[in-house]
Amino acid sequence: MGLLVVGSIAYDTIETPFDKIDDALGGSSTYISIAASFFTAPIHLVGIVGSDFKQEHKSLLAEKNIDLDGLEIVENEQTFRWGGKYHYDLNVRDTLFTHLNAFQNFNPIIPAKYRKDKFVVLGNIEPKLQLKVLEQMDKPEFVICDTMNLWIETAREDLDKVISKSDVLIINDSEARLLAKEPNLIRAARKIKSLGPKYLIIKKGEHGALLFNESQIFSAPAYPLESIFDPTGAGDSFAGGFAGFLHQTGDLSFDNIKKAVIFGSTIASYTVEKFSLQRLMEITKLDIKDRFHEFKELSRFDYE
Ligand code: AMP
């Protein structure tokens, strides 16, 4: 059975203090799927694009064992376009434009052969669409959910329903504070867990990530990168690596979920080294394994 991934597919225009790129392949489900493809197959992608979506990008996804039967192509419509500009502090990003185009009418229909999938990754889309995806699934066993500030502020009721049906919620620190209306992350995490998810992951950008279950906290370091080129898609790549590793191993113990957090962090650390998906298209499974071991060494210490 496959790993179901639902989210946006986009052409991104990105400006950083170092360079600019137009119409680069992006979108939450694109990053999630490609990151997950390093660990598992098949990946069942459900998304929507316009008729301008390039054949080379369909081939790129197919080469990564990403099944495209759930990709809807709308004739005479354009693919979702998103523009973002980063400041010198790369944690600060302005959205320059959001042209929904074909994405505006996204109504995710899950192909029959995907409905039995046990692992579901709900990329960042409107919570009512995330709910619609879950309603169509037979009996998902592990649901991983991502979201963003916009939905916390504008679709709270539906978002709470999605969170209550999710096993893992992955958000960043500012989203956690907003969701819980609580500045302290530990207290915020307690409040968010009371909404229902078994696990909560709070990403802290260049400061790593925190994983919470009902009683324990695991603190994952961030990889000390000297040059971060483009942070776009780091969060989605984290979710993809995390989900792909768990899907491949099928082991949902807390110890294995900790390893999945490190694999997610590993993939995200590669994503930010170049524009768009460029770095993920270069690296190999061996690169991932090597950096995973470097992560292990980063916070290992002995005590006599
Ligand atoms: P991240 O850097 O993890 O926030 O993800 C960036 C990706 O999210 C980009 O590739 C965008 O195309 C996509 N994106 C931006 N805004 C939205 C939105 N409102 N809904 C869905 N995807 C979006």
Name the residue of 6, 232, 267 whose CB sits within 8 Å of the most ligand 1 atoms, as the mutation to test its pocket.
Answer: 232
- Is residue 166 in a domain? yes
Q: What is the pLDDT of residue 300?
A: 85
**pLDDT of 97 over the 90 cut:** yes
- Decide whether any atom of ligand 1 lies within 6 Å of the 269 Cβ: no
Whether 153 maps to a domain, the answer reads yes
Atom of ligand 1 nearest to the CA of 276: 10
Ligand 1 and 10: CB distance under 6 A? yes
What's the CA gap between 25 and 22, in Å, rounded? 9
> Residue 128: phi, psi to the nearest 5?
-70, -25
- What 3-state DSSP class applies to 13? strand
Predicted model pTM: 0.96
In this structure, what CATH number is given to the domain that contains residue 82? 3.40.1190.20
- pLDDT at position 9 is 98
232 part of a folded domain: yes
Cβ 136 under 6 angstroms from ligand 1 = no
pLDDT in tens, 34-55: 999 999 999 999 999 999 999 9
Q: Which two tokens stand for residue 99?
A: 């042209």
User: Crossing angle, helix 254-271 and helix 234-249, to 10 degrees?
Assistant: 140
Domains of the chain: total: 1
Q: Which amino acid is at 73?
A: I
Ligand 1 centre distance from Cα of residue 28 (Å): 6
Query: What's the average model confidence in pLDDT over 158-182?
Result: 98
Query: What separation in angstroms does the CA of 46 have from each of 65, 110, 120, 129, 178?
Result: 14, 7, 11, 12, 29
Task: Read off the pLDDT band of 282 (50, 70, 90).
Answer: very high
Instruction: Measure 268 CA to ligand 1 centroid, in angstroms.
Output: 15
CB within 8 A of 52, min separation 6: which ones?
A: 78, 79
Average the pLDDT over 86-95 and give the result.
Answer: 91
Can you give the pLDDT at residue 206?
A: 83
Q: Determine whether the shortest distance from the Cβ of 235 to ligand 1 is under 6 A.
A: yes
Residue 94 Cα to ligand 1 midpoint, Å, equals 12
Phi, psi of 19 (to 5 degrees): -170, 175
Atom of ligand 1 nearest to the CA of 124: 21
Question: Does residue 142 have its Cβ closer than 6 Å to ligand 1?
Answer: no
Q: Taking residues 69-77, what's their average pLDDT?
A: 97
User: What's the pLDDT score for residue 303?
Assistant: 86
In a domain, 68, yes or no: yes
User: Is the pLDDT score of 304 beyond 80?
Assistant: no
Residue-by-residue DSSP string for 227-270: -----TTHHHHHHHHHHHHHHHH---SHHHHHHHHHHHHHHHHH
Q: Does 13 sit in the ligand 1 pocket, CB within 6 Å?
A: no
Would you tell me the crossing angle of helices 234-249 and 28-36 to the nearest 10 degrees?
A: 40
CA distances from 78 to 10, 22, 49, 82 (A): 10, 15, 7, 12
Dig out the tokens for 41 from the structure. Answer: 């197959």
Atom 22 (ligand 1): residue with closest C-alpha?
8
Nearest CA residue ID for atom 12, ligand 1 = 27
8 A C-beta contact, residue 232 and residue 205: no
Q: Is 236 in the pocket of ligand 1 (CB under 6 A)?
A: yes
> For 175-233, what is each residue's pLDDT tens digit?
999 999 999 999 999 999 999 999 999 999 888 999 999 999 999 999 999 889 999 99
Nearest CA to ligand 1 atom 1: 233
In a domain, 7, yes or no: yes
Is residue 303 assigned to a domain? no
**3-state secondary structure (DSSP) of residue 7:** coil
Instruction: Indicate if the pLDDT at residue 171 is higher than 80.
Output: yes
Q: At what angle do helices 156-164 and 127-136 cross, to 10 degrees?
A: 40
Q: Distance (Å, rounded) from C-alpha 81 to C-alpha 24?
A: 10
Closest CA to 106 of 210, 186, 29, 173: 29
Tell me the pLDDT tens digit for each residue of 232-259. Answer: 999 999 999 999 999 999 999 999 999 9
More confident residue, 12 or 303: 12
Is the residue at 304 inside a domain?
no
Flag whether 243 is in a domain. yes
Residue whose C-alpha is closest to residue 26's, from 201, 280, 260, 243: 280
**% pLDDT > 70, the chain:** 100
Cα–Cα distance between 116 and 108 in angstroms, integer?
16
> Range of 274's domain?
3-298
* Cα 295 to Cα 6, 54, 68, 232, 264, distances in angstroms: 29, 36, 33, 22, 11
pLDDT score of 299: 84
- Beta carbon of 124 within 6 Å of any ligand 1 atom: yes
Ligand 1: which of 12, 96, 124 to mutate, most ligand atoms within 8 Å of CB?
124
pLDDT for 142 equals 98
